[in-house]
């Protein structure tokens, strides 16, 4: 239980510092004044009492000397007369002479208390503001009695009272002076302390560590101000360090701090997420833990030389995660110097750019393939013109030499056979470059795959098992069935060559979306921005063969690139697959690794609501000869001459024109009807599409058959020609030309349909 003393100290401790200082100074001054006054008063009283005692003792000796004879002669009257003479001394209030036996011999005045003491001790006593002095009376050296003098102490009391009042006045003055002095001391002692307290309160209330207290002196309070300010500065530095650390910890990029020798001292959580290594696993180690072997020793040597020079190094790494997978990384490494300029640390900021790198590579590959396709398409167009003439005249030569010169017939046959092989090669180039004319139909992809299983099994041999994994809910697609079959054949052949000792070939279908994951958190829609939106059907072809390296995989769709022997392939199979898929509005991706097989995944957009019957081929075969009038428009003279020769031989009336303007002139000048116009799609000045529009005005009943080698300028011509048209692909034979002409003419006055 706290005592009153403890309570008093607690209350004093809770007082404001100003009150404490004032109270302390006042109490100190008062105490000092009291002590000084007490000492002075005590000395004054002692001196006054001594003086009074000496004076009364002296009177007692005088009285004793004058009354000794009276006592000896027993003369009380004489003794009283001596005592009454004391009335001249105002301080003496009473006097008495005792006989040796202690009885009163003579007295003067009334004793204090009303009765004389019965005993007469020798000495001085003080009682009730009176002084009593006893003195022995001697005669001839022998004691004959005792004299008692009683003196008033009023003077002593008055002097004590005056001394006390003076002391109190001095104490009051001292306290006032102390209060006045304390006001001055407030600026020296209290104010700095109060400012410290105020600053501490603001820091505590608002957390503002930028506050500073002005130092007013170099004493302990000044040092306290310095310490307070230093403490706030350290807190600010600590908070800035914590904020900086929090920023680093929450940064999206990986941050690594190493010593000057490359020893890792810190990594942030983004580094852990990016690499798979925890902070505990890498701190104390070296960044070489991430090496993938894709960078040469000279690469790292140049890096360290730049850092040791104090330069900031920026560059690209292919690194390896803890799980062994590779990732692409953009990094910037900066030296950190101390105040003396010495490099003490390195800080690296790293960003995982695997997705961006993959998209960039895919875009670069797509652009490269597009450029190759442009070149291949242009070459194929010119080759088709040449092959049309070669193959056509070879066919005519064979017809004319039947039953005649066998040697000429054999040579013509060899020319035609070689020309047809060349035409197949050109078609493959056109397929890769997406320049061939497709005849799309709505197809049941499952049905196409099932119908080809037997043929594919024969193609790959009995050593390889062909299995189907078809999704019965897979949607329909719109594609050219013959080209889709060609895709399956080429992929099956590729799988067969990858499994010389046998294996398993699995062909599957499934519904999918472009947002499905394409690896490394990249959706197919992001990786292939040209892929049509909406649902897709995926046709997959997987084998258990030898697989491919990353370098081979990056080039498999390039024309004429092959890892096979020259006797086994030209390098156009997968290039043609790529072109057919892209021209069909789809996308193809490949997943492969050495000794882990290969999977091709072809994404084709799901077809609309059109039924199969609406797009079915309704063409019928007719006799090839005719008597109609045909306008042949071709800027290549050799091709025009070949077509004219074939048609005239079949009984047709032929009008020739070298370009669109010449064709309009010939059609206008001809007196009879024009039943059919055969026109090149791409011609100078006026393409086939524009010619068809103008021809429809002057010859509204004429049908149109377009000849296409599909050069770079024919896409626009096809679009301008309209959605319904007949197309004859170059190179073509005389028989194919005759059948196509008869087919178009058989439509009569109806509009052309897609063939």
pLDDT digits (tens, 9 = 90+) for 580-590: 888 778 888 89
Strands 503-512 and 536-543: antiparallel
**DSSP 8-state assignment for residue 96:** E
Q: Are 192 and 17 in contact (CB under 8 A)?
A: no
Note the pLDDT tens digit of each residue in 266-323. Answer: 999 999 999 999 999 999 999 989 998 889 999 999 999 999 999 999 999 999 999 9
Strands 104-108 and 92-98: antiparallel
DSSP three-state, residue 312: coil
* Helix (H) / strand (E) containing 657: strand 653-657
For the domain with range 251-352, which CATH number is right: 3.40.50.300, 3.30.450.20, 3.40.50.720, 1.25.40.80? 3.30.450.20
- Higher pLDDT residue, 330 or 252? 330
Could you tell me how far CA 730 lies from the centroid of its own chain?
A: 58
* CATH number for the domain formed by residue range(s) 441-614: 3.30.565.10
Q: What percent of the chain has pLDDT over 90?
A: 15
pLDDT, one tens digit per residue, over 358-411 is 787 777 766 666 666 666 666 666 777 777 778 777 777 777 777 677 777 777
pLDDT by residue (tens digit) across 361-374?
A: 777 766 666 666 66
Does the pLDDT at position 709 exceed 50?
yes
Are both 18-161 and 441-614 of the same fold?
no
Q: Average pLDDT for residues 599-603, to the nearest whole number?
A: 93
Q: Is the whole-model pTM more than 0.75?
A: no
| pLDDT top residue among 155 and 166 | 166
- CATH assignment of 619-745, given 3.50.50.60, 3.40.50.9100, 3.40.50.2300, 3.30.1360.120? 3.40.50.2300
pLDDT at 570 over 80: no
Which spans in 617-730 are helix H? 637-649, 660-669, 688-698, 714-721
List, for residues 11-68, the tens digit of each pLDDT value: 656 666 667 666 766 677 677 767 777 777 777 777 777 877 888 888 888 888 888 8
**Sequence-separated (6 or more) residues with CB below 8 Å from residue 493:** 459, 460, 573
CA 740/CA 646 separation, integer angstroms: 12
Instruction: Quickly state the pLDDT bin for 611 (edges 50, 70, 90).
Output: very low
710 and 434 in contact (C-beta within 8 Å)? no
Number of Cβ within 10 Å of residue 738's Cβ equals 20
The CATH number of the structural domain formed by 18-161 is 3.30.450.20
First to last CA, the chain: 112
Averaged pLDDT, 496-501: 87
The C-alpha atoms of residue 190 and residue 275 are separated, in whole angstroms, by: 61
Query: What residues contact residue 498 under an 8 Å CB cut-off, 6+ apart?
Result: 543, 545, 546, 547, 597, 598
- Whether 641 has a pLDDT exceeding 80, the answer reads yes
pLDDT of residue 614: 40
Most confidently modeled range among 203-217, 327-341, 427-441: 327-341
pLDDT more than 70, % of the chain:
77
Judged by DSSP in three states, 207 sits in coil
Taking 70 as the threshold, does the pLDDT of residue 727 lie above it? yes
Residue 715 and residue 434: Cα distance in Å, rounded?
Answer: 11
pLDDT for 498 beyond 80 = yes
Asked if residues 136 and 146 have their Cβ atoms less than 8 Å apart, the reply is yes
Structural contact between residues 146 and 91, judged by C-beta atoms closer than 8 angstroms: no
Q: Which residues contact 142 (CB under 8 A, 6 or more apart)?
A: none
DSSP 8-state secondary structure symbol assigned to residue 593: -
Q: Structural domain boundaries of the chain?
A: 18-161, 251-352, 361-432, 441-614, 619-745
| C-alpha closest to that of 373 among 103, 124, 515, 580 | 580
**pLDDT of the residue at 504:** 92
pLDDT value at 686 more than 90: no
| Range among 171-185, 528-542, 642-656, 682-696 with highest mean pLDDT value | 642-656
Structure confidence at residue 618 (pLDDT) = 35
Q: What is the mean pLDDT of the chain?
A: 78
Average of pLDDT values for 637-664? 88
- Closest by CA position to 103, among listed 139, 146, 73, 70: 146
Helices (H), 106-213: 154-185, 191-206
Q: Which tops the pLDDT comparison, 709 or 618? A: 709
Q: Residue 188 gets which letter from DSSP?
A: I
The DSSP H or E segment spanning 497 is helix 481-498
Q: Which of 639, 745, 746, 737 has its CA nearest to residue 682?
A: 639
């Amino acid at each position: 239980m706290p005592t009153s003393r403890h309570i008093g100290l607690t209350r004093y401790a809770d007082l404001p510092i100003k009150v404490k200082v004032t109270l302390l100074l006042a109490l100190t001054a008062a105490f000092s004044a009291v002590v000084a006054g007490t000492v002075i008063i005590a000395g004054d009283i002692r001196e006054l009492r001594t003086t009074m005692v000496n004076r009364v003792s002296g009177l007692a000796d005088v009285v004793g000397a004058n009354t000794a004879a009276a006592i000896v002669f027993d003369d009380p009257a004489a003794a009283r007369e001596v005592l009454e003479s004391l009335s001249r001394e105002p301080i003496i209030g009473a006097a008495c002479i005792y006989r040796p036996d202690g009885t009163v011999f003579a007295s003067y005045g009334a004793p204090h208390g009303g009765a004389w003491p019965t005993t007469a001790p020798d000495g001085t006593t003080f009682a009730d503001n009176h002084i009593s002095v006893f003195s022995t009376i001697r005669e001839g050296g022998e004691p004959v009695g005792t004299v008692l003098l009683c003196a008033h102490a009023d003077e002593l009391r008055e002097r004590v009272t005056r001394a006390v009042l003076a002391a109190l006045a001095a104490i009051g003055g001292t306290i006032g002076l102390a209060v006045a002095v304390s006001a001055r001391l407030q600026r020296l002692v209290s104010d700095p302390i109060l400012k410290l307290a105020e600053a501490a309160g603001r820091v505590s209330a608002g957390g503002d560590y930028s506050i500073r207290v002005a130092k007013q002196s170099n004493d302990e309070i000044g040092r306290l101000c310095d310490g307070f300010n230093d403490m706030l500065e350290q807190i600010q530095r600590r908070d800035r360090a914590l904020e900086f650390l929090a920023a680093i910890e929450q940064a999206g990029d990986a941050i690594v701090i190493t010593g000057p020798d490359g020893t890792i001292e810190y990594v942030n959580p983004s580094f852990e997420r990016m690499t798979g290594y925890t902070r505990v696993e890498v701190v104390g180690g070296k960044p070489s833990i991430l090496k993938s072997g894709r960078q040469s020793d000279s690469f790292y040597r140049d890096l360290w030389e730049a850092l040791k020079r104090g330069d900031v190094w920026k560059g690209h790494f292919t690194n390896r995660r803890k799980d062994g997978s590779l990732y692409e990384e953009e990094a910037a490494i900066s030296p950190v110097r101390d105040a003396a300029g010495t490099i003490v640390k390195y800080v690296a900021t790293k960003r995982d750019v695997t997705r961006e790198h993959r998209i960039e590579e895919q875009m670069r590959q797509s652009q490269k393939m597009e450029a190759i396709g442009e070149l291949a398409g242009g070459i194929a167009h010119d080759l088709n013109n040449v092959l049309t003439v070669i193959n056509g005249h070879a066919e005519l030569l064979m017809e004319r030499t039947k039953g005649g010169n066998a040697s000429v017939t054999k040579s013509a046959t060899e020319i035609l056979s070689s020309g047809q092989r060349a035409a197949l090669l050109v078609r493959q180039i056109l397929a890769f470059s997406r320049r061939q004319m497709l005849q799309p139909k709505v197809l049941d992809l499952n049905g196409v795959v099932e119908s080809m299983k037997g043929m594919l099994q024969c193609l790959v041999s009995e050593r390889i098992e062909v299995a189907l994994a078809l999704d019965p809910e897979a949607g329909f697609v719109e594609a050219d069935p013959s080209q889709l079959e060609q895709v399956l054949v080429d992929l099956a052949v590729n799988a067969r060559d990858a499994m010389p000792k046998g294996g398993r070939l699995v062909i599957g279908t499934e519904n999918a979306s472009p947002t499905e994951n394409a690896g490394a958190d990249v959706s197919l829609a992001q990786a292939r921005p040209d892929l049509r939106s909406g649902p897709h059907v995926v046709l997959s072809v997987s084998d258990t063969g030898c697989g491919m390296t990353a370098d081979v995989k990056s080039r498999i769709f390039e024309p004429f690139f092959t890892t096979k022997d020259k006797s086994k392939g030209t390098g156009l199979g997968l290039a043609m697959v790529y072109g057919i898929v892209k021209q069909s509005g789809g996308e193809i991706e490949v997943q492969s690794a050495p000794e882990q097989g290969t999977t091709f995944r072809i994404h084709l957009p799901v077809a609309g609501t059109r039924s199969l019957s609406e797009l079915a081929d309704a063409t019928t075969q007719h006799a090839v000869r005719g008597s109609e009038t045909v306008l042949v428009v071709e800027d290549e003279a050799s091709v025009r001459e070949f077509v004219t020769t074939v048609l005239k031989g079949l009984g047709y009336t032929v009008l020739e024109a070298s370009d669109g303007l010449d064709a309009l002139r010939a059609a206008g000048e001809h007196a009879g009807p024009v039943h059919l116009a055969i026109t090149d799609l791409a011609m100078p000045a006026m393409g086939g599409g524009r010619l068809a529009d103008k021809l429809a005005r002057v010859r509204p009943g004429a049908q149109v058959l377009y000849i296409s080698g599909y050069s770079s300028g024919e896409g626009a011509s096809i679009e301008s020609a309209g959605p319904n048209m007949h197309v004859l692909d170059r190179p073509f034979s005389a028989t194919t030309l005759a059948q196509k002409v008869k087919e178009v003419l058989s439509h009569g006055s109806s509009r052309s349909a897609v063939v």
